[in-house]
Amino acid sequence: MLTFLTDAAAPVEGTVVDQQLFFAPEALEAATGWTLKDVGLCRGPVCVPLRGIALQREHGIDLKRFAEVLGRRVVVDPDRGIAAMAVDPSIRAGALQDKVAPEIVLPDLNGALRSLSEFRGSKTLVVTFATWCGCRYDLPGWQALEDELRDIGFRVLAIAFDDDPEEVRPFTDGITFPVLLDRHHVVSEAYAMSNVPTVVWIDEDGRVVLPNSEAFGTDLFADFTGVKSAPHLDAVRAWVREGVLPEVATSVVEDFTEGEIDARLHFRIGVELRDRGDLEGASKHFARASELAPFDWTVRRAAMPLTGRDPFGQEFLDLYDEWKANGAPFHGIASVDEVRHLAE
């Protein structure tokens, strides 16, 4: 039995031959939603022609060729019978270029599935955070903003890039907006996020009107980050009350490189192996993820607590200094506070 990872782990009947993974043909649809037909790979009314690529071989469906047909990156650990495949790149392109907010379907801290589409009809602030980040203390600030603006059509949706709901729960006391758990960081992949806190503004029709931006709900760490909360909070108020968007709203977020996508797949495999108790295998994939995306905090810093390291200790401080020395790379636009400083 193999394990196939997309936004969750799925057991797949198959085999490993010559360091390659093969699905049993009858397991393809159950694991991926795709069916092999004469016209190509099909899922519902959508079919992708094979263009001469033979997916089915002696041992079953060739996983790497399957991913190639769909135009997706895939990372395979044949020794452990596990593979991870990236989300459809057109989803991220839709977010970054066409400003169509990808759907989000994730469990809340009690395991109930919630979705972004529930918020249609309201201006929505998607806030990503993590327990390995000081921004875990910002939730009360976002709660106060929702309380202030909810009656005029504003909502907050928080997403934790974390492994354990019980680690997140203590920071949600008094929080009434949904807090969802993204163990495999699929939201960071779909929206091209490389750090937390990252916020996205989404309008009533499900369109991204302000892409990835660094913002805080409080000034608890303003001296450390250099980013004040007030300019962004005031900008949200102007958007909700008057429909006014800041100038940076027209900025475009840079897409991930193939290496950055592969880093997420290695991270995903690392999480799965850690759950199995295979700490050696998990550490190997977390390390490879950090090599591929050394300044992606949702990969490198997020792996610290998963491998018994302190995400607030000296290793983090050294990483922070290294990140700053390399220009503080970030898949996002200038913060509202940063633009304010430049204008002064």
Query: Helix (H, G, I), strand (E, B), or coil: what is residue 240?
Result: helix
pLDDT score, position 338: 58
For residue 221, the model assigns a pLDDT of: 93
DSSP H helical ranges for the chain: 28-32, 63-70, 89-93, 139-149, 165-168, 186-191, 222-225, 230-242, 258-276, 279-292, 303-306, 314-325, 336-343
Strand partners, 312: none
Which of 80, 205, 220 lies closest to 141, judged by CA? 220
| 274-303 residue pLDDT tens | 999 999 999 999 999 999 999 999 999 999
Segments of 2-152 assigned E as strands: 2-5, 9-12, 14-17, 20-23, 35-37, 40-43, 46-48, 56-57, 60-62, 74-77, 82-85, 105-107, 113-115, 123-129
Distances (CA, A) of 328 to 86, 254, 294, 325: 26, 14, 11, 7
In Å, how far are 35, 58, 65, 205 from 340, measured between CA atoms? 52, 62, 49, 28
Q: Find the range with the poorest average confidence among 54-58, 93-97, 173-177, 216-220.
A: 54-58
pLDDT for the residue numbered 231? 94
Among the ranges given (4-18, 109-123, 176-190, 257-271), the one the predictor scored with the smallest mean pLDDT: 4-18
Question: Please, which residues bridge with residue 10 across strands?
Answer: 4
Report pLDDT for 337.
62
In this prediction, residue 344 carries a pLDDT of 37
pLDDT score at 8 = 75
- Cα separation, 5 vs 291, in Å, equals 21
Mean pLDDT of the chain: 93
Rounded (10°) CA dihedral 327, 329, 334, 337: -70
Predicted confidence at residue 218, as pLDDT, reads: 97
How do beta strands 154-160 and 123-129 pair? parallel
* Paired residues of 127 in beta bridges: 158, 199
Q: Which of 195, 230, 200 is nearest to 216 (CA)?
A: 230
Residue 341 has pLDDT above 50, yes or no: no
In this structure, the strands spanning 20-23 and 2-5 are unpaired
Kindly report, residue by residue over 18-63, the tens digit of the pLDDT: 899 998 888 888 888 888 888 899 988 999 999 888 888 888 899 9
- Coil, strand or helix at 252: coil
pLDDT digits (tens, 9 = 90+) for 138-153: 999 999 999 999 999 9
pLDDT per position as a tens digit, 220-271: 999 999 999 999 999 999 999 999 999 899 999 999 999 999 999 999 999 9
- pLDDT more than 90, % of the chain: 82
Summarize the chain as % helix, strand, coil (round to 5). Answer: 40, 25, 35
Return the DSSP state at 295: T
